[in-house]
Amino acid sequence: MTDKKYIVALDQGTTSSRAVVMDHDANIVSVSQREFEQIYPKPGWVEHDPMEIWASQSSTLVEALAKADINSDQIAAIGITNQRETVVVWERETGKPIYNAIVWQCRRTAEICEQLKRDGMEEYIRKATGLVVDPYFSGTKVKWILDHVEGSRERAKRGELLFGTVDTWLIWKMTQGPRARHRLHQRLTYHAVQHSRPRLGRQDARRAGHSARHAAGSAQVFRSVRPDQHRW
């Protein structure tokens, strides 16, 4: 078996998922791409099926490796680029989403954001997170799901739910979530810039609960639903 190693880039976009295999000289060896469904429940609302996101991304990875005629042992690293503010809430034990992913384009939380502004929270949130108050960001999307999926807020308080942007969702699925046995599989890596997108804090995960209390709801709930994350 060859010892040659490859880098894999997973590009999970708004309308399609791609996998690209590259060698160590940055030459593209193979590419696979699949589109997935766009869901529009109401005007201005946009959703994706998280399981379809996972299925499209995992299948492109398998296909790209097959096209390159390599196996998983030859992958030196995997990088993920994704639709930043799109958010997923799922069950900690089963990995089953409790609602569709709310997409970055979705404007359903506009009134929540306007109420935050009326409450004088705009400057506080800007200082705490570096972001403006806008439905574009993930924090109010999580609040909307917890407010509208029956029993979800109570489940979150009990630590039964997790939330994350799409990169976290994919890493959770790839590492088998709570069933992961290997030490490395039990550590979810993240990018500091990506981690700030839910509007829960700047680059320090320890500030997440404090900022979330004002930006999108109960700090206790948000601490309960964050997956364990480690900056490498």
Q: How far apart are CA 138 and CA 84, in angstroms?
A: 9
For 40, residues 6+ apart whose C-beta sits below 8 A from its C-beta are 46, 47
Sorted by where each begins, the domain ranges of the chain are 1-37+50-82, 84-230
pLDDT in tens, 64-77: 999 999 999 999 99
Residue ranges in the chain modelled with pLDDT below 70: 1-2, 178-232
Q: Which CATH superfamily is domain 1-37+50-82 in?
A: ATPase, nucleotide binding domain (3.30.420.40)
Q: Are 195 and 112 in contact (CB under 8 A)?
A: no
Q: How far apart are CA 19 and CA 32, in angstroms?
A: 5
Ramachandran angles phi, psi of 10, nearest 5°: -105, 120
Q: What is the pLDDT of residue 228?
A: 54
The candidate with the shortest Cα–Cα distance to 183, out of 137, 135, 117, 232, is 232
Q: What is the pLDDT of residue 188?
A: 42
Architecture of domain 84-230: 2-Layer Sandwich (3.30)
Q: What is the pLDDT of residue 176?
A: 77
